[in-house]
């Protein structure tokens, strides 16, 4: 009897033309849906390239237009500190986000030059924690896009200050997992998205050491090919139940779906 493949819910997809675009890549919703169908990915979290490279507010508007009437694509909004007046008042912004059924947010601290400390982002983080809205922290750096730039000290500090706030770290690649494992040990609310986790048997180690509920499948389409992340789940030496958790159940749970 052939085993049932897990349902994959991608935690890391992007739409829209981006600056690092290269031949053979894509940026349209139609092509993303084709890729998802080809690889057996049923659902995906999506943010707009404009949110990452230019204006989170404008990118949030664009992503809502992109996902309209496409139930398999779930919008992600990006946020900025409030004093610059780029996002308006936190409460009204949150109400608008929830009104659009957006259940998760994304932060680009390096790209938009802000800190995760409370003096800079505390008002936003406090309100997100109150509603238990998961936060994806992405230390993408357009200057050195292939380097590991995650500030683990800041990540751990946020996790400790807001223990009820689900934090998801994503990165272009993890070259070493020592700081990652130390952070996961100290922060039960810290979750890891798979598209940058390339080391041998890392999935098995995390499931054994910290629990399968701490891992989320993600591809970083269209910048990356999802084959690596899919293989890390499908061929991992873990139970079928753990594979289903990593593939999609964990993300659905964090989003309250």
Q: How far apart are CA 66 and CA 15, in angstroms?
A: 8
pLDDT band for position 21 (50/70/90)?
confident
Q: Which residues touch 148 (CB under 8 Å, ≥6 apart)?
A: 171, 172, 173, 174, 175
Whether the pLDDT of residue 218 is over 90: the answer is: yes
163-173 mean pLDDT: 90
- Is 194:232 a contact under the CB 8 Å cutoff? yes
**8-255 CATH pick, 2.60.200.20, 3.30.360.10, 3.10.20.90, 3.20.20.140:** 3.20.20.140
234-254 mean pLDDT: 97
21-47 mean pLDDT: 93
Query: Cis link prior to 170 (omega < 30° from 0)?
Result: no
Distance of CA 149 to the CA centre of its chain: 16
pLDDT tens track for 67-116: 999 999 999 999 998 765 666 677 888 889 999 999 999 999 988 999 99
Residue-level pLDDT at 1: 46
Q: For the whole model, what pTM was predicted? A: 0.93
- Is 52:78 a contact under the CB 8 Å cutoff? yes
Helix, strand and coil percent figures for the chain, each rounded to 5? 45, 15, 40
Whether the pLDDT of residue 148 is over 90: the answer is: no
In this structure, of 14-28, 46-60, 100-114, 128-142, the range with the lowest mean pLDDT score is 14-28
113-140 mean pLDDT: 93
């Amino acid at each position: 009897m052939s085993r049932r493949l897990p349902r994959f819910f991608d935690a890391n997809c992007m739409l829209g033309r981006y600056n690092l675009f290269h031949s053979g890549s894509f940026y349209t919703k139609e092509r993303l849906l084709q890729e998802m169908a080809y690889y057996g990915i049923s659902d995906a979290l999506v943010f707009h390239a404009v949110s990452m490279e230019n204006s989170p507010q404008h990118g949030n508007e664009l992503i809502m237009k992109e996902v309209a009437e496409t139930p398999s694509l779930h919008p992600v909004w990006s946020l900025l500190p409030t004093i610059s007046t780029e996002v308006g008042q936190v409460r009204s912004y949150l109400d608008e986000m929830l009104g659009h059924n957006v259940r998760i947010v994304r932060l680009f601290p390096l790209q938009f030059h802000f800190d995760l400390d409370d003096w800079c982002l505390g008002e936003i983080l406090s309100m997100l924690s109150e509603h238990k809205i998961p936060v994806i922290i992405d230390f993408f750096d357009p200057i050195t896009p292939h380097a590991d730039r995650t500030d683990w000290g800041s990540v751990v500090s946020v996790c400790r200050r807001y223990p009820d706030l689900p934090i998801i770290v994503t990165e272009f690649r993890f070259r070493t997992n020592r700081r990652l494992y130390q952070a996961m040990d100290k922060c039960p609310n810290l979750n890891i998205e798979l598209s940058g986790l390339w080391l041998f048997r890392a999935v098995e180690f995390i499931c054994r050491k910290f629990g399968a509920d701490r891992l989320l499948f993600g591809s970083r389409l269209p910048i990356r090919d999802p084959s690596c992340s899919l293989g890390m789940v499908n061929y991992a030496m873990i139970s079928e139940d753990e594979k289903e958790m990593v593939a999609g159940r964990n993300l659905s749970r964090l989003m309250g779906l």
